[in-house]
């Protein structure tokens, strides 16, 4: 039997935090016990804290609110979670997603293998692929899935052994930072395709740019300033392009055009991230919120 601590880092997440907490407290579990759910709310100005407190009362102490009065960045919130968590397996899940009812169990069971130090979930976006940004998002996460099957790539929901004290407080690619530290300690990372988590990707170009430039610039920071050697293979442009062309199979002329558009959009994101890091020396440890990603549809 595994006992796990779940951490949620929240900033103005009133749109989804209640649904997420209800989801987590009703997970289907056989060999896993969710001992505690710690929600770190960093400078929230909406009803996030109020909703969490209401859910904490109902949970009879399982849900706990940790408040940072000032928004200090996600890495700072994660370090607070690591400091407070009491169990051997830690799970971190984004505040704006929803896992399937068996995801926590699926994500945890691989730790039966003592060589496994970290696991990652399978992200499935709810965006409609009949518009360009929806097509981009669904294509992006399908590619993410194909990459992760071949070489570990984490995102949105991860679990790891409680063996690291902290991550770099200035990182904005937290899952990668955790993976690098776990690998450094001699453990392996495992992708779990059955651990499904639903998210909503950016639905405007500007929200896309906010998200993509932050992630990509953060990889430069992690490698060149923090000094960690693990960098996701998604930074290997040739590998990604070959895999993308192999897995993307457009059905008609419109999708062929969109396929080209996806490549151009990704190139723009990478160029802007390069500019952010090389010219502006910026990697966005505290970032602007991509509003269009924050509300999941009903029925998930």
For residue range 275-298, list pLDDT tens digits in order. 999 998 887 887 788 888 887 887
What is the pLDDT at residue 255?
87
Neighbouring CB atoms inside 10 A of 298's CB total 6
pLDDT score of 57 more than 90: yes
Q: What is the mean pLDDT of the chain?
A: 92
Tell me the torsion sign for CA atoms 251, 239, 218, 107. positive
The arrangement of secondary structure in 2-292, i.e. its CATH architecture, is: Alpha-Beta Complex (3.90)
Distances (CA, A) of 291 to 13, 15, 141, 201, 288: 10, 11, 19, 10, 9
Answer for the pair 210, 259: CB distance below 8 angstroms, yes or no. no
pLDDT attached to residue 249: 77
CA dihedral 99, 102, 103, 106 (to 10 degrees): -170
Given a contact cutoff of 8 angstroms between Cβ atoms, the answer to whether 219 and 274 are in contact is: no
Neighbour tally for 131: CB within 10 Å: 12
Rg over alpha carbons for the chain, rounded to the nearest Å, is 18
pLDDT recorded at residue 38: 98
Give CA separation, 44 vs 50, 89, 171, 233, in Å.
10, 27, 20, 34
Q: What pLDDT, on a 0 to 100 scale, did the predictor assign at position 295?
A: 76
| Token couple for 128 | 């409609």
For 104-153, what is each residue's pLDDT tens digit? 999 999 999 999 999 999 999 999 999 999 999 999 899 899 999 999 98
Q: Where are the alpha helices (DSSP H) in 26-153?
A: 48-58, 74-84, 103-108, 132-150
pTM for this prediction: 0.92
CA proximity to 82, closest of 225, 181, 198: 181
Structure token pair of residue 275 = 């500019």
């Amino acid at each position: 039997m595994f006992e796990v601590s779940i951490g949620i880092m929240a900033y103005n997440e009133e749109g989804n935090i209640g649904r997420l907490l209800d989801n987590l407290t009703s997970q289907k579990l056989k060999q896993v016990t969710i001992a505690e759910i710690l929600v770190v709310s960093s400078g929230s100005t909406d009803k996030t804290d109020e909703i969490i407190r209401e859910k904490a009362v109902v949970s009879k102490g399982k849900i706990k609110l940790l408040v940072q009065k000032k928004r200090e960045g996600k890495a700072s919130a994660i370090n607070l979670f690591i400091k407070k968590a009491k169990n051997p397996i830690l799970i971190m899940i984004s505040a704006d997603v929803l896992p399937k009812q068996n995801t926590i169990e699926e994500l945890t069971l691989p730790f039966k293998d003592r060589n496994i130090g970290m696991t990652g979930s399978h992200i499935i976006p709810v965006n409609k692929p009949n518009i360009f940004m929806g097509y981009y998002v669904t294509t992006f996460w399908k590619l993410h899935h194909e990459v992760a099957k071949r070489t570990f790539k984490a995102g949105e929901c991860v679990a790891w052994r409680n063996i690291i004290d902290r991550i770099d407080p200035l990182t904005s690619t937290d899952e990668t930072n955790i993976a690098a530290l776990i690998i450094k300690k001699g453990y392996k990372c495992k992708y779990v395709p059955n651990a499904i988590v639903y998210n909503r990707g950016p639905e405007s170009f500007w929200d896309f740019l906010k998200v993509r430039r932050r992630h990509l610039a953060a990889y430069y920071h992690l490698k060149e300033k923090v000094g960690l050697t693990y960098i996701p293979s998604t930074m290997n442009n040739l590998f990604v392009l070959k895999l993308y062309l192999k897995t993307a199979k457009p059905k008609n002329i419109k999708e062929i055009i969109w396929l080209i558009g996806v490549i151009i959009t990704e190139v723009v994101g990478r160029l802007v991230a390069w500019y952010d890091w090389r010219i502006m020396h910026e990697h966005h440890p505290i970032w602007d919120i991509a509003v269009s990603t924050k509300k999941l549809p009903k029925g998930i």
